[in-house]
Each structure stands twice: as C-alpha cells, then as structure tokens.
Structure 1
Amino acid sequence: MKFTSTLASLLTGASATIYYAGVAESGGEFGVWSATATKGTGLPGRFGIDYKFIDESTVATFVDSQKVNLFRVAFLLERMCPPATGLGATFNETHFDLYKQAIDYITVTKGAYAILDPHNYMRYNDPSSQPYSGSVIGNSSDPTAATTAQFGEFWGELAGRFKDNGKVIFGLMNEPHDMATSLVLANNQAAIDAIRAADAENLIIMPGNSWTGGHAWAEGTDPSSAIMQNFEDPLGNTAIDIHEYLDVDFSGSHQACVSDPATNLAEVTAWLKTNNLKAFITEFGGSNTTECATMLADMVNYMADNEEYIGWTAWAAGPFWGSASPCCSDSAQYGSLEPGSKAADGSDGLYTTVWQKVLLPLLPTTLAWEGTATVKHE
C-alpha cells in the first residue's frame, strides 16, 4: 500500500472535493432480527440493551482526536413511527428524544455533521427479518403497505424538527431494492417535497434502486440511471446516496475484496457528471486482508479524484457490534470500526487494522466544520 504517495495526492488538491467524511453508526436498527421472522419481534425494544444509536465517548474520539466530521446514524421507522399508529407524523416521542439526543451530541456538542438514516430498505411495518421483511412503501397492490403520501408526511414531520440545525443531513432511505425504480423516485420526490414544504433547507441525500449500488446504477431493464435524475428540488440541495462494497456480490458480507471500485463506479460517476449531480458513498467497507486494504484505499482515492463525490461514511462503527464484523459474515469475528473494538480472540479489531491503518491516513484535512451542509461548495 502506497500511503505516502496517495496521501500526498489527496493533500495537494484532490481531497478538496471531499467535504464530509467519517463513519456509519450502526446500532439503532439492532434488536429486531428474528430467526423465525416473527412480526413485531424486538419492537419497540429496550434502549441501551437491544439497540443504541451512538456511544458519546467514541464519537468524541473520532471528532476530537481524528477530526472526523460526519456520522450516519441509523434508526428504524417502526420505532420512530409505531405500526399501531402507522407511518406518518405521529412519533414515539420517547424514541425521538433519544435519537435527537444522539444527533444533537454529534452536531451541537461536537460540531460535526450527521446523516439521519431510516434503515428500512424502503419497507415498513415488519423489520423482523430485514432486509426483506415488511411491505414496500407505496406499493398500491399491498393493502398493508404504507403509502407514498405517508412517507412524505413522515419526512415533513422529521424535517420540521431538525430544520433549524443545518448540520443535519436528511438521508431519505437505506437501500431500496426489489421494487420499481419509478416507485423509488416517487417516494424520494414525496419526501423532498415535504421537507421543503416544512421550510427545511437541509442537504438531502436520496438513494437509487437495487440497494443503491453504484455498480448497479445503469444495469438491468429498470435502472436508476434511466430516471433518477428526474427528481426536483427547488433549492438544488440534494445529492445522490450510493453504496459500494468490494466483495464478489457487492453485499459486503464476504471477507475477500475482489471488485475494483474504479471499474465498478465508472458508470455511475459518468451519470453524475452528465446530470451535474453530487454524491455521497455512505456505505463501503472491507476486512483486514491485504487486498481489502488496497481496494479500500483505492475507493477513498477514487472519490477524492472525482469531483462528483463530496462525502463518505465507512461501514460501520456503533456501540453494540462487540467482536462481530460488519464487513464480512463469512469470516472470523474481527470487530468493527468502533474505537476500542477488538476481535473475538482479543487481537486488534477492524478499528485498528482497517480504520486506523487504512482509512484514517486518507481522511482529508480540508473537511467542512462550519455552516449548513450543502452540495454547493466553491
């Protein structure tokens, strides 16, 4: 790994295109998976036992010691909007207050930026066996599905509560999949309309279809590249949310990294350029192999070298991973990107072997720390 040359390249200009960088905080979506796929399992769940959004001390480590300025914080729609009352503007206020406490710590106390991440795969009402359980939002043929209008109503309410905090970024949905791309666009548009109607000027990041995979952006008979550019934002402050893993099937579930990021992001990058759009890659990651280290560095350098990309969050940190590995379920337990994380055998975890050794040396020194998040950097 040639960190000296690649880091020099970043610091001499390319990194100026990346204004927001950090980690995905995974944990707010925990506590619902059920081997028997029992609907309602883990809802609402016990905060601090079944699920938790962040650990304030480790967020402080990222910000104070490492100068990270972005955190993507997952939550479940079913906890924020209980199925008993449905998706919309009626919130579980206790749950919202806990979530807001985490977001305020990141953005107000530590002065960083936070992406709100409804980690629901464009589904609602049954997270017991994500990513496939639950009804597709806006599916008019499913009488149990929340409607596109309800999705907009939810985002209007959430946006109204955070509109005075410009360091909050609205990530509309995690990884829509196995649905019509036109419905993904319709749901995205309903959310954008409701956010702007709430007088929120915050940066929005919207996903595509097919798990919002960059490699899949132009693939298939119903690709995101055909229509996703047709969204409308009167403020022009919307970016594209992309995920891109490096293993054989782009799932992030295998130890080996074999998918070259520059090759697999070429088409989506060209699409972004053609449509004059900016993007965040809010999920990417890998294990502690030599091949993964090389490809992860290549991923960060690729984003820095292409002005279409303005931010990234690596997958994943979070308070409840323990020795489990967010990158690779087919390998041993190597720990996560959470500071202090260790592997199951007590050796250095991915925090040390991947974050500190590979990603942190490539963190741009020109990250934004002031003002409302925006796509319009000079």
Structure 2
Amino acid sequence: MLLLSFLTVALAQGAIARVWLAGFDFGCGNIQGRYTASGVTPPLLSQGRGIDGAGQMRHFVADDGLNVFRLPVCWQYLVNNRLGGNLDANNFGIYDQLVQACLDTGAYCVVDIHNYARWDNQVIGQSNGAVTNDQFASVWWQVAARYAGSSRVIFGVMNEPHELDITAWATSAQYAVTSIRDAGATSQMVLLPGTTFTSVGGFISSGSASALSAIRNPDGSTTNLIFDVHQYLDADSSGTSTECATNGVNNLSTLATWLRANNRQAFLTETGGGSTASCYTNLCAELDWMNNNSDVYLGWIGWAAGAFGADYELAETPTYANGVWTDTGIVASCVAGKF
C-alpha cells in the first residue's frame, strides 16, 4: 500500500496510489491483537522465505507509478513481546530493512502498528488498565525517534480499532500523536483511525469523526493529522470475497461532505477486490471517484501484496520470472496508473 506540512499541498493535487506489503503483521493476524511470533513472515529475501518485498516495491514504483507503501507490523514483534519495553534491536532491525527498502524507492512509507487497538485482547487505555496509554505512547516515541529525520515516513497510529469506547480511544490516540511529535517527528503525517474497524461507512455514526477531531498537535494545530479509513466492496464489507458488490461511492461521498464542512482530510488506507469482473468494474469506479475528490481524500492503499501468495482472495502480489514482474489482474486493471 501506499502513502506530510509540505506534502499536504502536494497530495491535494492528485490522489496517491499505494499497496500494502504484508508479512510483519501476520503474527498478530487476528482482531484481538494476540501475538504468535512464529506467524511473522518478513517479506524480505534476507529472511530466507523467498519473498522479495523490496523487489515488489521497486516494480510497483518503476513499472506501475505507485508512490506509497503501507508496512504493517505487530507491536509485540517490535518490542519482542515485552509490554512497555524498548524496541528489540534484532526484530526492529529486520523490520527497518523493509522500511529502508521502501524509502530507497523514493516512495512514502507508512509505518503501521497492526494490533486492532489491543495487546493480547486488552484494549489500550481501557480493559481495567492492563495496557496503558503510557505504554502505547512509549513504543510510538521510540519508533518516531528512529524516523524523525525521514520526511517520507508516515505514522499509522493503529490498524482497525473496534469494540471500544471511542472517546477513550481518542485519548489513547492523542498520547501517540503527542509522543510522535515530541520525538522530533514534527511535520510528518499521522493517520488517526476510528472504531468499527475505521470503516468509511461508520466513521461518522460511530462517533469516530467527532472524537478524533479533538486530537491536536502540541502546538494546538491539526496539521497533518489525517483520518484513517477503510472500505471493502464485497457484500458484507469484510474483504473476504473475490467479488465486489458495490463501488462504495455513497459511503465515500457522505464522509467527503463531512470532511469539507469540517476542513479535514482522510486517507483510505485499505481497500481492494479480487481479480474478477465485478471488481474490475467496482474497484476501478471507487478509485476513479476518489481521484476526483482528492481535496479531501489524499489517496488510497490496496490490500495486499508482500507475503500473500497468489491463492489469497485479494492478492495484489506480483509474480517474478525471467527478470519480469507480472501484476495480478486487479492491479493491472484498477491500481497501476490510476492517479
């Protein structure tokens, strides 16, 4: 997937196209934020799994014109499963290989903690204090301090919070924002997700838009604090079917009206579809609509490449043979060059 103060202006001139590079998130690949170290699958040739995430990104940039990648990772992986602990030198070093490979392409790189607002089923800042806002702030301070000098790093506060108190979650997200800025990352974009899996369709009705609007930078501004939203196009909006039942424009349009009225912007950091006729129609229509509304939608990210194999329903993972990368049908039809 793809996708700062100077960048805000640039993004408003046209949508940003991206792809997810999945793999570091597989160890917490459930909605309760539980961790299985053996599940982590780094999309790096250096890790001996035959997955060339760096090569995929170089291809997406050079051949498809994409310019942002989302790089999900488990919180537990970063700190070697020590809640409140320091970044683990080995694990963070491996993850940083992917970040540096992304930066080397000239693209923007979203560092995304992929824990659903949880640590092993305990909601950050809720769940009777089992996982505190200070612990959450600590990991973000450490990560941001590492990338404060990289203007093309974007910070994704959390993937898909759900089933929580949205006002309390906004307080947790404020802790993260304050830590990121205090660590020296004062100008990069920070992505703020809401509850109900940060869905576009529920972003207003869930109270997410209102609660997250209160989050501020230390100087009191909302500069580069961007709402993080997701939308899938299958019949139940779960992103588990190869078929697309809708183009999602009604949901996007409703939120766009709110964003304009409140002088805010959003980033669609997850969407996608299978390589099927219905998705060629509906996903292409969604992305075309977004490109025409880039004043409030800074861009979109397609789920997912990286460690996903060709048998995954929404695979955007290109294949490599004889020196040539070949895109999946949905990438070739709806993602490449669509901005």
TM-score by length of 2: 0.85
In the alignment, what sits opposite 1:206? 192
Where does residue 113 of structure 1 map in the other structure?
108
Match of 1:229 in 2: 213
Residue 113 of structure 1 and its aligned partner are, at CA, apart by: 0.7
Please give the alpha-carbon distance, in whole angstroms, between the structure 2 residues aligned to 1:353 and 1:156.
40
Q: Quick check: 1:25–1:54 contact (8 Å CA) kept in 2?
A: no
Offset at 1:146? 1.4
Q: Per-residue displacement from partner, 1:336-377 (whole Å, max 9, x unpaired)?
A: 2111189xxxxxxx9331001222142x2xxxxxxxxxxxxx
Which of 173, 187, 191 is residue 188 of structure 1 equivalent to? 173
Q: Is the 8 Å Cα contact of residues 24 and 40 (structure 2) preserved in structure 1?
A: no
**Residue 244 of structure 2 is aligned to residue 257 of structure 1:** yes
Q: Which residue of 2 aligns with 1:305?
A: 292
Q: Which runs of 5+ in 1 are unaligned?
A: 1-14, 127-133, 328-335, 343-349, 365-378
**SS of the residue aligned with 1:138?**
coil
The yes-or-no answer on 1:355 pairing with 2:331 is: yes
For the pair 1:66 / 2:42, whether they are aligned, the reply is no
Identify if the C-alpha distance between structure 1 residues 267 and 228 changes in structure 2 by more than 3 Å, giving closer, same or farther: farther
CA distance in 2, matches of 1:360, 1:102: 22
Spell out the pairing of 1:315-330 with structure 2 (5 A cutoff).
Answer: 315-318=303-306, 320-327=307-314
How far the C-alpha of 1:77 sits from its partner, in A, is 0.5
Corresponding residue of 2:4: none
Q: Is the 8 A contact 2:199 2:230 kept in 1?
A: yes
**Is 1:86 aligned to 2:64, yes or no?**
no
**Aligned equivalents of 2:181 and 2:251: distance in 1?**
33
Q: Is the 8 A contact 1:16 1:304 kept in 2?
A: no
Following superposition, the deviation at residue 43 of structure 1 comes to 5.0
Report 1:1-378 matches (<5 A). 17-31=13-27, 41-43=36-38, 55-83=53-81, 85-88=82-85, 90-107=86-103, 109-124=104-119, 126=120, 134-141=121-128, 145-201=130-186, 202-219=188-205, 222-233=206-217, 234=219, 236-306=223-293, 307-318=295-306, 320-327=307-314, 336-340=315-319, 351-362=327-338, 364=339
Moved over 4 A (4+): 31-34, 43-54
**Distance of aligned partners of 1:276 and 1:16 in 2 relative to their CA distance in 1, 3 Å threshold:** closer
Q: Percent identity?
A: 30
Q: CA deviation at 1:40?
A: 5.4
**What CA distance in whole angstroms lies between the structure 2 residues aligned with 1:304 and 1:230?**
28
Q: Tell whether the 8 Å contact from 1:177 to 1:211 is kept in structure 2 after alignment.
A: yes
The residue type equivalent to 1:285 in the other structure is G
Determine which structure has the larger strand proportion and give its number.
2
What is the number of residues matched between the two proteins? 316
Residue 17 of structure 1, CA deviation: 3.4
Superposition deviation, residue 135 in structure 1: 1.2
| Alignment check: 8 A CA contact 2:21 2:53 kept | no
Specify the code of the residue in structure 2 equivalent to 1:246. Answer: L
Question: How big is the shift at 1:115?
Answer: 0.2
CA apart distance, 1:296: 0.7
Equivalent-residue separation in structure 2 for 1:268 and 1:317 (angstroms):
27
Aligned partners of 1:340 and 1:270: how far apart in 2? Answer: 40
| Structure 1 residue 32: Cα displacement | 5.7
- Relative to the length of structure 1, the TM-score reads 0.77
- Structure 1 contact 159–198 (Cα < 8 Å) conserved: yes
The residue type equivalent to 1:358 in the other structure is C
Separation in structure 2 between the aligned mates of residue 54 and residue 146 of structure 1, nearest angstrom = 35
CA distance in 2, matches of 1:159, 1:147: 19
Alpha-carbon offset, residue 227 of structure 1: 2.0
Question: What is the deviation of 1:153?
Answer: 1.5
Structure 1 residues 288 and 93: CA distance shift in structure 2, 3 A: same
Q: Which amino acid aligns with 1:338?
A: T
Contact 1:316–1:326 (CA under 8 A) maintained in structure 2: no
User: Deviation digits for residues 120-173 of structure 1, max 9, x if unmatched?
Assistant: 11111x3xxxxxxx211111525xx31112111111111011000000000100
RMSD: 2.7
| Bigger Rg, which one | 1
Per the alignment, do residues 168 and 53 of structure 1 end up closer, same or farther by CA in structure 2, a change over 3 Å counting? farther
Distance 2:29 2:267 in 1: 28
